[in-house]
Amino acid sequence: MRKSIHITVNGLVQGIGFRPFVYGLAQSMHIVGQVQNDWQGVSILATGETTALQKFTDALLQHPPPLADITNCEVREIPLTEMSDFLIKPSTKGTQLNALLTPDFAICENCKSEIHDQNNRRFGYAFTTCVHCGPRWSITQQFPFDREHTTADDFSMCPLCRNEYEDPANSRFHSQTNSCPDCGISWQLFDNQGNTLPIAQKNIFTEIAKKLSAHNVCAVKNNSGFLLCCRADDANTIVKLRTRKQRPEKPLAVLFKDLETLKQSFQLSADEIKILESPARPIVLLSAKDYKGNLPLHTIAPGLRQIGVMLPTTGILELLAAAVDFPLIATSGNIHGSPILSQNQEALSQLSDVADFFLCHNLEIIHPQDDSVVKFTKTSQKPLLLRRARGYAPNYLKPFKNTVDKPMALGADLKNSIAFIPNTYAYVSAYLGNLENYEVYKRFSQTIDNYAAVFNTKPTVLLTDKHPSYNSNRHAKTLAKMWSIPKVEIQHHKAHFAAILGEHQLFDERVLGVVFDGTGFGDDRQIWGGEFFSYENQNIERIHHLEYFDWLAGDKMAKEPRLSLLSLSKDNVDCKTGSKFTPAEYNFYKSMKRPNNLKTSSVGRLFDAVAALLDLTDYNTFEGQAAMMLENLIVEANLKNYVNYLDHAQDAFSGSYILQFACNELNRGVPKPQIAANFIFTLANYILDFAGASGYQKIAFSGGVFQNTILVDFLRTLAPNHVALFFHEAVPPNDENIALGQLMYHLHINRKL
């Protein structure tokens, strides 16, 4: 019996070869009909024998294309509709986009093979892509995802490319980004004065390799923005890049040409290899404990024994890495603190004092993105997403029920991202940066406008952090007035807690929330950061926190760990503190403590204090430096016995007590790695003891402190079997998750903000 069905497929189904897959499946099963993208996902009309249609539907759901993520599929019978063939139809537009946006995908093995094959017409062509790889979100202007909705449409396909695009037997059948050297994207090489260097297209990577070999810094336009590249095997060249970029100590990422080369220098776990070769292909932080190469690690990542590594994500980086015989520094193309650049003239203007040469192409990038960053915990080998950008953004894969309103969340100021629910999905932007930087603020504002335009939807409510001085809050106030919609403020740490509750769908549970970070404006107008929350029945209540201590010198405290040490110092610790200040400074800052009405419960600042006590650093040249150095100290230690500094603290969660105990151990000659490990062991024990005493069997963690892999591993190891622990997986634990948390709070928690 013949019949017709209509199938609607939702999720990540556009820009990943889903329509060609459906076409091939239909042809193999003698089914006629059509498939097309629309604003809901993919729409399929299929006519055939009942048995064949069932097999067709089963195969569609059980064996979709590798990059697909189907969140919903609806099948309904329709009146018999006979057609002569199965067709891929042009996309249809609607008024309301309700499909996942397609992130950029790393170059696949087939395309990689082609650009290295001298007999292939795409030999040496850096923009070789297919249905399984290439730029997507970075070049998207509107949806559905078709060539005419991307900047690839600026390049008309030649007859050979057009034949590939229209041939069902070809791997580039309906590949929207298809191009070749004859019809595609072209290069230009400039010096830092803006002069064009006359280099043939086929020689462009040979020439840039010569420049890099000669110890020059080169700005290379990748598919998602500029990268600053130089030799990773020469300390002087790296120092030159650091000086010019004003990035004195923050770690730099290293690009290796392939996995085999990387394996010669580092020991890799199976999980690390898997994610390094995944379609997202993030930067992965690797331990340098058993490093066997010759790179100057102390210059690449000063004071750390871990290195961020990456494999080529695009044909551009594949050809660049293959053209040189050394690994490359590959760091964001920007002035330190500003967003990554993507426009040629903008890069030539802003980076002329940083780069010696500029390798630019003429594919326009609409959505520039940094590389994502992942680190695995040492013991449990669990991934921690530290920066969510290229390869992951802008989707958040879990669908949501339709809401009455369409909330847009503007996040926090540090590590900003925004989030929007215009339909049944939440869309969380890529990492944007620190809104104190004017250029980041501009991109933040542009991203908000862009999201409203892409979805053809104006938010009905704006969600923002409670901090009155945050630029995100101020901008929300302006937008709320302009759009005539309400602005709702949500406390920073409650947003953190709501983010982890939402990620693991815990809104029907009784959960202890532990939120540790550096700074957040509290409900009592103090600086929070060491918080315990209770969640039950759509209500969040703050039930405990790190004992308050003095917040000194405003924002300066987050930049100078010595100030946190001074604030927490009592008795025996004072003698360790005084040497870190001039007499005048010491007296001045001590006077600020008498009296000081502004207090903090920040565990992030407690980490700073311990790092300063152990003489790891007194000044942070980048956010989180002291905590990273403290964690790094432990990674290399062979530790068997740990001490809980709060064993005899009479239930007090006191930073001063912890610091005093650590100082006593330091005076007794206990090794610094042991003290650092004892400190983190103490935090893990306190959390679990508090949960046990309070009767919680589910604990959810959020906040930047839980980027510490040692703390995460201690918690996983020490937790009783009956206690379930929940950590972030889809978004970072740091302030990047605030926007998602604001959405979750708005949807699920009581409105008593």
DSSP codes joined into one string, 16-80: SSHHHHHHHHHHHTT-EEEEEEETTEEEEEEEEEHHHHHHHHHHHHHS--TT-EEEEEEEEEES-
Mean per-residue pLDDT for 500-523?
A: 96
**What are 82's two structure tokens?**
């006979």
pLDDT at residue 649 tops 70: no
Annotated catalytic residue: which of 37, 395, 620, 685?
Answer: 37
C-alpha span between 93 and 594 (Å, rounded): 65
Q: What angle is formed at CA 413 by the lines to CA 410 and CA 419, rounded to 5 degrees?
A: 25
C-alpha span between 65 and 16 (Å, rounded): 7
Q: What is the pLDDT of residues 81-91, one digit of tens each?
A: 999 999 998 88
C-alpha span between 421 and 407 (Å, rounded): 6
Annotated catalytic residue: which of 19, 122, 242, 388?
Answer: 19
Mean per-residue pLDDT for 466-489?
A: 96
CA distances from 516 to 222, 434, 497, 532, 602 (A): 36, 19, 10, 9, 7
User: Looking at domain 394-490, which of 3.40.50.880, 3.20.20.140, 3.30.420.360, 1.10.1040.10 is its CATH number?
Assistant: 3.30.420.360
What's residue 336's pLDDT?
84
Cβ-contact 486, 480 below 8 angstroms: yes
Determine how β-strand 549-550 pairs with β-strand 539-545: unpaired
CATH code linked to domain 545-735 = 3.30.420.40
DSSP strand E in 288-336: where?
306-310, 328-332
Mean per-residue pLDDT for 255-277?
A: 96
Q: Domain limits of the chain? A: 2-88, 187-375, 394-490, 545-735
**What are 508's two structure tokens?**
């029907």
What's residue 101's pLDDT?
87
Cβ-contact 636, 305 below 8 angstroms: yes
Fold of 2-88: Alpha-Beta Plaits (3.30.70)
Fold of 187-375: DHBP synthase (3.90.870)
Q: What is the pLDDT of residues 369-380, one digit of tens each?
A: 999 999 999 888
Listed residue (105, 76, 86) closest to 14, CA to CA: 105
C-alpha span between 507 and 523 (Å, rounded): 22
Q: Is 332 left (phi over 0), alpha (psi -120 to 50) or beta?
A: beta
Q: What angle is formed at CA 284 by the lines to CA 281 and CA 288, rounded to 5 degrees?
A: 145
**Alpha helices (H) in 400-503, listed in sequence order:** 438-454, 471-483, 492-503
Mean per-residue pLDDT for 466-470?
A: 95
Q: What is the pLDDT of residues 24-51, one digit of tens each?
A: 999 999 999 999 998 889 999 999 999 9
Same CATH topology for 394-490 and 545-735: the answer is: yes
What's residue 556's pLDDT?
94
Q: What is the pLDDT of residues 184-226, one digit of tens each?
A: 999 999 999 999 999 999 999 999 999 999 999 999 999 999 9
C-alpha span between 122 and 591 (Å, rounded): 70
pTM of the model: 0.95
C-alpha span between 484 and 461 (Å, rounded): 9
Chain center to CA of 6: 37
- Give the pLDDT band (50/70/90) at residue 506: very high
Looking at every residue in the chain, the average pLDDT score rounds to 93
Q: What is the pLDDT of residues 293-332, one digit of tens each?
A: 999 999 999 999 999 999 999 999 999 999 999 999 999 9
Beta-carbon count within 10 A of 312 CB: 22
Signed CA dihedral, 28, 29, 32, 33: sign only:
negative
% pLDDT > 90, the chain: 84
pLDDT at residue 752 tops 50: no
- Catalytic residue status for 247: no
What's residue 577's pLDDT?
78
Signed CA dihedral, 207, 208, 212, 217: sign only:
positive
Q: What is the pLDDT of residues 565-622, one digit of tens each?
A: 999 988 666 667 778 999 898 888 888 877 788 999 999 999 999 999 999 999 999 9
- Catalytic residue status for 19: yes
Listed residue (711, 246, 316, 357) closest to 517, CA to CA: 711
User: Buried b vs exposed e over 498-534: b needs ≥16 C-beta within 10 Å?
Assistant: bbbbbbbebbeeebbbbbbbbbbbbeeebbbbbbbbb
